[in-house]
Amino acid sequence: DAKYFSDGIRDNFNFRVGLGRISELGYGMLFGSDVKKQFFQKRIKGRGYCDVGTSVISEFYTPLVPKGHDFLQTIGSLAQARQDGTATCEAKGDGTD
């Protein structure tokens, strides 16, 4: 809510992100009322807008993650696979010196 921020503080936010269907008022409060709403109100899950401090608003999409997905297990599997691959590469390199 704008009442919690003093005048002009929004101009000091260098990274702004809005997720989902943003109302016209919310879009204006987040990115400024003078910004053209090119992507406004699309009904697509995982969609959002961001401004990385360049005053250029980009639309982005995130993957839809199934309910119950275990991120820690996936990260652990990827880390283990990477370690296994590194160990294999190191073993191949031992006899070449």
Asked whether residue 24 is assigned to any structural domain, the reply reads yes
Please give the Cα distance from 62 to 85 (Å, whole number): 29
Asked whether residue 97 is assigned to any structural domain, the reply reads no
pLDDT tens per residue across span 41-67: 677 788 888 888 888 888 888 888 889
pLDDT tens per residue across span 17-29: 888 888 877 777 7
Asked whether residue 82 is assigned to any structural domain, the reply reads no
Please give the Cα distance from 18 to 70 (Å, whole number): 25
**What is the number of domains present in the chain?**
1
In 1-97, which ranges are E strands?
16-19, 47-51, 58-61
Whether the pLDDT of residue 38 is over 90: the answer is: no
The closest alpha carbon to 70, from 82, 59, 78, belongs to 78
Q: Which domain holds residue 49?
A: 2-61
Asked whether residue 87 is assigned to any structural domain, the reply reads no
Kindly report the pTM of this predicted structure. Answer: 0.52
Asked whether residue 8 is assigned to any structural domain, the reply reads yes
Measured CA distances, 33 to 26, 55, 72 (Å): 9, 13, 41
